[in-house]
Amino acid sequence: MACLFFTGIANYAIKRRTVSAVMLSLALQAFGRPAINFIETRHNFGYIAESEKAVSHLFRFTNSGDSALVIYGIVSGCGCTAADYTSDPIAPGDTGTVTVTYIAEGNPGRFVKGVRVKSNAPPGEMLLTVEGTIIRDDKFKAAGYVCNINGLRLTATRIASGNIEQGKTTCHTVKAINGSDIEVAVSFPHIGVKASAKAIPEKIAPGNEAEITVCYETSGMWGEETVSVPITVNNGVESRTDTIVCLANVMEVFDFATEEERLEAPIINVERRALNFGERDRKEKTTGEIKISNTGKRVLNIRKIETSSACISASVRKDRVKSGDTTSLTVTLCPDKLGKTQHLLNERIRIITDDPENPVTQIQITASFR
């Protein structure tokens, strides 16, 4: 069982245990003495955005005595702090916790706050201290640092690369600043084989700026692609990992040595550019089919099939279509993935091929649900 303890700004109050609990602890002390030992008694939150509203730190302690330890209550002189603590008797050798919470919202600026832990262990009272600086987000946001990873502020974690030639390497640089009051180290664990990233410098002192460069290579990519780069920020106390996401539309480059080669290129021919499933029961999974043929002279390669919604899936019977040959595009409607209040579906399928005149073919998918 745990108790949450609040105090007024100028009013000191103690969360008292019941008389029976006090008598129990006195009886237990007849056989020995409890001893309370905290792993730490002070914690620095660093810089905290006011939008976080509240921050908490868990102080752990051990009863290193030979009798049960009882916390009677918590004393704090500020309504901006609260404490949650282990209130059951703690046997010798066991551990307990005191969680101190500071209310960031409405309290900008530097703070140092203490709470006093009252217990039956000598000397009867222990002081725990939390400190930090509450900053208004506007300070960083006005400068363009809109993202926060463990105190490191970045100008972006989502990057739109736009149209990129297939097989090329593209790089983006994101500006960063250490918004905390302790040094942070930046690393990139578990990065994909086609991506790379570096921070200059890797260790960033408080208030200092840095640049984070993310690069990725697009061979084997087609159409709309997402490249995710994990980034870890370690402040020496804890590590937090987030992701920088790059969004790109990868386009195939068609280089023909002669006009004759261009005229021999594959040509995609789609039976229809729209598929209407009509009115359907939202529990009913339905499929439809569209014929795709190659009226060009060389083999048509279907690079990728993209759908704009999880409610539809699409696949082709074969992704290499010889000259004059035909394949089938099977479209499956999955209404169980629709929102509960959604009754109309109007989505797109993108067929990406090596037809130089029509590398992307779109098909409209519509349906209604009862």
The 10s digit of each residue's pLDDT in 93-131 is 999 999 999 998 888 889 999 999 999 999 999 999 999
- What pLDDT sits at residue 115? 94
CATH number of the domain that 97 lies in? 2.60.40.10
How would residue 143 be classed by pLDDT, with cut points 50, 70 and 90? confident
Last residue in a domain, options 251, 279, 304: 251
Please check whether residues 306 and 214 belong to one and the same domain.
no
Please check whether residues 196 and 289 belong to one and the same domain: no
Least confident of 55-69, 174-188, 218-232, 327-341: 327-341
Name the pLDDT band for 70 (thresholds 50, 70, 90). Answer: very high
- Are 362 and 308 within one domain? yes
Asked if residue 353 has pLDDT above 50, the reply is: yes
Q: Which of residues 218, 251, 284 is at a domain's end?
A: 251
Where among 224, 251, 278 does a domain terminate? Answer: 251
DSSP letters for 300-364:
EEEEEEEES-TTEEEEES-SEE-TT-EEEEEEEE-GGGS-TT--EEEEEEEEEES-SS-SEEEEE
Residues 126 and 8 in one domain: yes
Decide if pLDDT at 366 tops 50: yes
Residues 123 and 148 in one domain: no
**Looking at residues 183-197, what average pLDDT do you find?**
92
- 271 and 241 inside one domain: no
Rounded to an integer, what distance in angstroms lies between the CA atom of residue 10 and that of residue 200? 47
Residue 158 pLDDT grade (very low, low, confident, very high; cuts 50, 70, 90): very high
Same domain, yes or no: 109 and 196? no
The number of folded domains in the chain is 3
Q: Say yes or no: 147 and 247 in one domain.
A: yes
Q: Is 21 left (phi over 0), alpha (psi -120 to 50) or beta?
A: alpha
Q: 0.85 cut: is pTM over it? A: no
Question: Is 220's pLDDT higher than 50?
Answer: yes
Residue 25 main-chain phi, psi, to 5 deg: -65, -35
Judged against a pLDDT cut of 80, whether residue 159 lies above it is answered with yes
pLDDT at 28 over 50: no
Whole-number pLDDT of residue 50? 82
If asked whether residues 127 and 158 sit together in one domain, one would say no
Q: Are residues 18 and 114 in the same domain?
A: yes
Domain that holds residue 270: 259-369
Claim to verify: residue 290 and residue 347 sit in the same structural domain: yes
Average pLDDT over the chain, rounded to an integer: 87
Q: Are 39 and 154 in the same domain?
A: no
